Amino acid sequence: MSEVVLITGASAGIGAALGEVLAARGHAITLVARRAPELHAVAARCGDQALPIVADVTQRAEVRRAIDTAIAHFGRVDVIVNNVGRGISRLPSALSDADVDEMIAVNVKPALYGMQEILPHFAARGTGQIVNVSSMLGRVPFATIRSAYCGAKHFLNALTATFRDELRTSHPGVVVSLVSPGVVYTEFGVNAVHGGPDSRALPGGQEPEVVARVIADVIANKATDVYTIPGSRERVLAYLGAAADAAL
């Protein structure tokens, strides 16, 4: 059996596409999401080596249950992909407490729970990989209406970097990877808090299968910081350079 990969947010979009890509590459996969019918449909497409677990990963106990169930079923987990996320359509001047709380609850805490709850298993085995799915908006906050989503993804990036720094000394066999897609042609936009433009109608985006193949390659080659759209790194460096110049 190839590596065992646990994927959250696996009932649609990037998570579902990743499950299918990894299944085709021979991996055993655990698919975790809240929507049971959609999740089981994805698992059926992935074949016999797919384990669907209905769980709400905004709750720490549910993350722990999903991990424990996967370990009990497959004997181990080699990779966890923290993929859950939700957008928002609201200008920063109009953000409410509830808006900010929702962005942290969905975009930050599930990844933190995943990292923390899988760590004892990885530490005991001396190996493992954490893959956090972020966004270009966590690097360059170019979409003003995504305000608190940008902030949440910046928070996720910081947690990923500091978690990596901590484990580099304490558990050097555990790899911590960050993947930053741009626009992805999913229902992300229409499912955003307060609605908003459909991501599938925006220019310059990627199909979820393309992003899924990038993430699958990250699992294969253990890269630590990857963009899914060519030229993204240069865009980030240009933004940071301009911001640094403006601060002088």
| CATH number reported for the structural domain that contains residue 178 in this entry | 3.40.50.720
Q: Calculate ∠ Cα 201-231-114, nearest 5°.
A: 75
Q: Is the pLDDT of residue 208 over 90?
A: yes
Instruction: Give the pLDDT score at 243.
Output: 79
The overall pTM is greater than 0.85: yes
Q: Of 57, 45, 40, 58, nearest to 17 (Cα)?
A: 45
Cα–Cα distance between 125 and 229 in angstroms, integer?
A: 34
Q: Is the pLDDT of residue 248 over 80?
A: no
Mean pLDDT value across residues 226-231: 97
Instruction: Give the pLDDT score at 227.
Output: 98
Q: Is the pLDDT of residue 157 over 80?
A: yes
Domain around 202: 4-247
Instruction: Give the pLDDT score at 79.
Output: 98
Instruction: Give the pLDDT score at 242.
Output: 87
> What residues form DSSP beta bridges with 8?
32
Q: Domain count of the chain?
A: 1
Residue 13 backbone class (left: φ over 0; alpha: ψ -120 to 50; beta: rest):
left
User: Which of 113, 149, 185, 227 is an active site residue?
Assistant: 149
pLDDT in tens, 28-49: 999 999 999 999 999 999 999 9
- Residues of the chain with pLDDT > 70: what percent? 99
- Catalytic residue list contains 113: no
End-to-end CA distance of the chain: 55
Q: Is the pLDDT of residue 95 over 70?
A: yes
Cα–Cα distance between 180 and 153 in angstroms, integer?
A: 10
pLDDT in tens, 8-18: 999 999 999 99
